[in-house]
Structure 1
Amino acid sequence: MLTLKYTSRPERSAISARDGTLCAVDERSLEHVAKRFRDSETRTEILRRELAEAIRQADKDGVPQKRICEVTGYTRQQVRRIVLSQDREEGEAGGNADPS
């Protein structure tokens, strides 16, 4: 957890806290928060790919697009793009196969 030290000295580097007060942040704390942020970006990307695959599978299993949208919160256009992106990838892979 991030530990913030409150200071009244404006000459120090400061980050605004939620309540608007200025607080000093040591370099180690800043590195820790930055690392946590990068880790969360990585986890988000992994989960985004997993959700896209689940949407494609639901489409293949015949789940109505309307229901996929309700469950995921995505628009119909977003769901169509996800499903079609898989179709395009499969089409390109099939087109590159050696027929001999």
Structure 2
Amino acid sequence: MQKTLYKMTMGLGIMVLAAQQVHARTCAPRDEVIKRLTETYGETRQGIGIARQGTVMELFASDQSGSWTITVTLPDGITCLVVSGQAYETMAEALPPNV
């Protein structure tokens, strides 16, 4: 049991260190992130939402290339890339009612 707890603790520590390294590479002031998404990928903002504690989630996408990116901007103005992908399509379909 102690070995398992030790391994879990070490694993958690490694994940925290890795997350700090990823944060350093994927976050920057918002204007820098937006400029790069626009100039490099041709993406524009397609959607926005407010999350906890004043965090803003935005979806950027390009109609030409189909690339897309989801960002999160913290109250201090730092924007982080959350996920990105390809084959973005705009859809306007009604969801079925809750049963």
Output the TM-score relative to the length of structure 1: 0.39
Higher relative contact order (CA 8 A, sep 6+): 2
Higher helix share: 1
Higher strand share: 2
Task: Determine which structure has more spread, i.e. the larger CA radius of gyration.
Answer: 1
Output the TM-score relative to the length of structure 2: 0.39
